[in-house]
Amino acid sequence: MKTILGIESSCDETAAAVVSRGTEILSSVVASQIKVHAPFGGVVPELASRKHLESIAPVVEQALEDAGISRDQIDGVAVTRGPGLVGALLVGFSFAKAYAFALDVPWVGVNHLLGHIHSVLMSPSPPEFPFAALLVSGGHTSIYKVSSRTDMEVMGQTRDDAAGEAFDKVSKAMGLGYPGGEIISKLAESGDPHKISFPRSWLDKKKFDFSFSGIKTAVGRYMQVHEDSWHDEKADIAASFQEAVVEVLATKLINAAKSIGCPRVAVAGGVAANACLRDRVTQLAAKAGMSVHLPDISLCGDNAAMIAAAGYYKLAAGERSPLNMDVFSRMEKL
């Protein structure tokens, strides 16, 4: 078991990658649907599924071509099983099953969140085990104690909205567009992060759960109260909102690592590309005497390389998925 084809279609990115021995990325192709969903301010599930159907075969063929290999050189297939949009997942999942069956190679379904954790483990200097990992994206915000490539324990998670979802919805409320994370981050560069004191939802400070629904309401309320002037404060609103979210994320990650006596922290997921979050975690970790491990920006968003990497270790351990396996849309054990 050496060369793994990875396939990812959990949301609005159709992706395929070829990874060797779980760490060497031979190719990684991502077909984005941003232009399709931008007019709606968010992902439309039915449209996403249709675009996956159009893109999946060409994306896989491009991944093989970029890797410089043929189909008969694939030793196994790994595919995102969930969580995600059911229709979108089914496209990649069904394609992977058929592809593996046709090639007569083993295949395995991979938890999308496990893949994100592996994006950190694919770096040139991966963290030693155990480490505390913050997984933060458009659909998920959790902290894990990662004891091995297959042993990961949830320490805390969002009780309502994910951090990335909050970025998207605040951006939509301000009429800035989609995807909100990148737009808010760019606008915040010219704003004052301390100009507006948006609330921090700490919940129980001794625990590591999150809540981001309240800050969305706070931003909306600020816009209502300052109806005549908020348009001139967009940069300050963006910076202050981002500051509130990042402060909670970074602080809880460091506190989680302290609680288990672990001097190593990592950040993964789409929001891991946020420069403010990366800087804040690095600063707080330095003060606490901890090392920080961040994935390459290209591996932060949804991609198939991380799925292939996670799948490699599953297949190498002898795990195989049956052809009657189905996708799942909600959280399951990693």
Q: What is the per-residue pLDDT across 122-150, written as a single tens digit (0 to 9) for each?
A: 988 999 999 999 999 999 999 999 999 98
Three-state SS string across the chain, please? CCEEEEEECCCCEEEEEEEECCCEEEEEEEEECHHHHHHHCCCCHHHHHHHHHHHHHHHHHHHHHHHCCCHHHCCEEEEEEECCCHHHHHHHHHHHHHHHHHHCCCEEEEEHHHHHHHHHHCCCCCCCCCEEEEEECCCCEEEEEECCCCCEEEEEEECCCCHHHHHHHHHHHCCCCCCHHHHHHHHHCCCCCCCCCCCCCCCCCCCCCECCHHHHHHHHHHHHHCCCCHHHHHHHHHHHHHHHHHHHHHHHHHHHHHHCCCCEEEEECHHHHCHHHHHHHHHHHHHCCCEEECCCHHHCCCCCHHHHHHHHHHHHCCCCCCCCCCCCCCCCCC
Q: Is a pLDDT exceeding 70 seen at residue 318?
A: yes
42/33 Cα distance (integer angstroms): 11
84 φ, ψ (degrees, to nearest 5): 165, -165
In this prediction, residue 150 carries a pLDDT of 84
The pTM of this model reads: 0.94
Question: Residue 79 — very low, low, confident or very high, per pLDDT cuts 50/70/90?
Answer: very high
Residues 6+ apart with CB under 8 A from 204: none
Share of the chain above pLDDT 90, in %: 94
User: What is the per-residue pLDDT across 215-251, written as a single tens digit (0 to 9) for each?
Assistant: 999 999 999 999 999 999 999 999 999 999 999 999 9
Q: Is residue 1's pLDDT more than 80?
A: no
Residue 187 has pLDDT above 90, yes or no: yes
pLDDT at 256: 97
Q: What is the pLDDT of residues 14-42, one digit of tens each?
A: 999 999 999 999 999 999 999 999 999 88
Which position has the higher pLDDT, 257 or 123?
A: 257
Residue 11 pLDDT: 95
Per the structure block, which two tokens stand in for 155?
Answer: 């320490």
pLDDT at 331: 63
**pLDDT of 97 over the 70 cut:** yes
Q: What is the pLDDT of residue 281?
A: 98
pLDDT greater than 70 at residue 9: yes
Mean pLDDT score of the chain, rounded to an integer?
95
Arithmetic mean of pLDDT, 174-189:
95
Q: Are strands 131-136 and 141-146 parallel, antiparallel or unpaired?
A: antiparallel
**Rounded-to-integer distance, Cα 153 and Cα 147, Å:** 8
Q: 271: closest CA among 334, 179, 200, 205?
A: 179
Q: Which among 259, 314, 257 is positioned nearest to 267, based on CA atoms?
A: 257
Q: What residues have CB less than 8 Å from 148, skipping those under 6 apart?
A: 129
pLDDT band for position 332 (50/70/90)? low
Residues paired with 143 in a beta bridge: 134, 156
Contact 180, 163 (CB under 8 A): no
